[in-house]
Structure 1
Amino acid sequence: MAEAATWDALAAEATVLGLELLGGMQKGEGTLLLYGPDPARFWRVLQASPEAHAPDPIDRWSARVLTALARDLGGTALFPFGTPRQPFMTWATGTGACHVSPVGLLVHRTQGLNVSFRGAIRVPRRIVLPAPGPSPCVGCPAPCTTACPVLALTSDGYDLPACHAWLDDPRNDCMARGCAVRRACPASPPRPDAQAAHHMAAFHPC
């Protein structure tokens, strides 16, 4: 598949693995491909994997799966964790598939404010990329700007102490279901509560 891989074929292969091909950009004579969790499949695939009950299961799973995929494509896997630090935010906006939302978070046309990256693969050849679509924020009434119960994340910036204080409040449902701002985005597909809780626990350890 490596030499004949098209965008559609790569996207289909990513889905089988529990990933979504979120965007791509030309880098010199090569192509950089960005991968994130498939909202419908990722958590189920992870829970059935050898990494499910290991420390840092998501990073371990990502390293194994994307390293193997990169090898099949004749490319190199790059990750948003470990060292050296990679410029995933710059890459994400550079693909044209991600945009800056009214609350300053990245937003993606199919993943909304829940967009995240498990890794990237740099392949040493040019792949024809689909034209990037418009931001899902165009025409949106921006419920994200008022969704936070303590207004920690708005168009004016991010009040991190207020966010953490709210997560300590027993009235919050963000720890169990995920950030209310991200959930408010009409473009954000639903994901399992267990997945959201895992990420929130990493962000705000009890």
Structure 2
Amino acid sequence: MTYELIARAAAAMQLELLGGFHPGDSDADLAGFETLILLGPREPGFWSAFSQSREFLDGAPNPMDRWSVRVLTGLAVAFNAQPFYPFGGPAYRPFFQWALRTGRCHPSPVSLLVHDQAGLFVSFRGALALTQRLDLPPTDPNPCSTCAGQPCRSACPVVAFETGQYDVAACRAYLKGVPDNDCMTMGCGARRSCPLSKTYGRQAAQSAFHMKAFQTNGS
């Protein structure tokens, strides 16, 4: 089994391997596993595939989470792996810390994770833990270190990241109080301003789907 083999199987389901790492002795929640791989939407094309899925079309709650469980369970069975998810808690798995350990995700100037390919649009649908120690691809430096102007710092209409901490209350108040704002219909302005995000191919409909869920869950 190889990282590349899992990547091909994931790609067939419109998922991307966003990085991995080798757990150590201090990772009590990953005891017995030699490799952890994080997976997220493969762009372009993820939304087109997901929006035709039975989970999206059946009208029941949490369609993307249910889709993720079905698809990642299938991959886990195929590769004799243990799936983990960033939802379904509490308690929640430490996906933020796991992402940093891949070396492909880094802290951005607005405190959100930035990925070397997905930019500030990085998101995770789950992870696969394997008992085999797989060779992992090389990593790149934090893309923010060479980003001219760092537009994410000034893109938020309510400067919700001004202090270096995400002001969730200010963000939600804006989304609720300003009808048809760009953040609700196209996705977070700070995330969209990232040069890597602009090349990632994520559709506005997907961002609107997530923003609606974010606003609804906070009401």
Instruction: Output the CA distance in 2 between the equivalents of 1:165 and 1:75.
Output: 41
- Cα pair 1:102 1:154 within 8 Å, conserved: no
Please say if 1:69 is aligned against 2:75: yes
Alignment match, 1:193: 204
Partner of residue 36 from structure 1, selected from 36, 40, 44: 40
* Structure 1 residue 171, shift from structure 2 partner: 5.9
Match for 1:182: what amino acid? R
Alpha-carbon deviation of 1:15?
1.3
Q: Distance in 1 between matches of 2:83 and 2:113?
A: 22
Report the structure, 1 or 2, having the larger helix content: 2
Unaligned runs of 5+ in 1: none
For residue 196 of structure 2, give the secondary structure of its aligned residue in structure 1.
coil
> Counterpart in 1 of 2:127?
120
The partner residue of 2:153 within 145, 152, 157 is 145
* TM-fit CA distance, 1:155: 5.4
Give percent identity, aligned residues only.
49
- Of residues 118, 129, 137, the one that matches 1:130 is 137
After TM superposition, give the deviation of residue 27 of structure 1 in Å.
Answer: 2.1
Root-mean-square deviation (CA), in Å? 1.5
Q: Please tell me the residue identity of whatever aligns with 2:12.
A: V
Match of 1:96 in 2: 103
For residue 85 of structure 1, give the secondary structure of its aligned residue in structure 2.
coil
Question: Conserved in 1, the CA contact under 8 Å of 2:9 and 2:75?
Answer: no
**CA deviation profile, 1:128-161 (whole Å, cap 9, x unmatched):** 0012111111210210000011211235322222
The letter for the 2-side match of 1:32 is: L
Instruction: Name the residue aligned to 2:66.
Output: 60
Say which SS state the counterpart of residue 32 (structure 1) adopts: strand
- Over 3 Å counting, the alpha-carbon distance change for 1:155 and 1:136 in structure 2 is farther
4+ runs deviating over 6 angstroms: none
Larger fraction in strand: 1
Q: Which residue matches 1:154?
A: 162
CA contact 2:153–2:161 (8 Å) conserved in 1: yes
Q: Give the whole-Å Cα distance in 2 for the aligned partners of 1:36 and 1:134.
A: 20
Work out which of the residue numbers 3, 9, 19 in structure 1 matches 2:15: 19
Out of 4, 9, 12, the position equivalent to 1:8 is: 4
Corresponding residue number in structure 1 for 2:30? none
Q: Which residue of 2 is the match for residue 182 of structure 1?
A: 191
CA distance in 2 between partners of 1:9 and 1:42 (Å): 19
CA offsets per residue over residues 31-72 of structure 1, 9 Å max, x none?
101000112121111122111123211000000000110111
1:16 Cα deviation from its structure 2 partner: 1.2
Question: Which blocks of at least 5 consecutive residues in structure 2 are unaligned?
Answer: 25-32
- 2: CA distance, partners of 1:135 / 1:6: 26
Going from structure 1 to structure 2, the CA distance change for 1:72 and 1:101 (only over 3 Å counts) comes to same
In structure 2, how many angstroms separate the alpha carbons of the residues matched to 1:87 and 1:158? 18
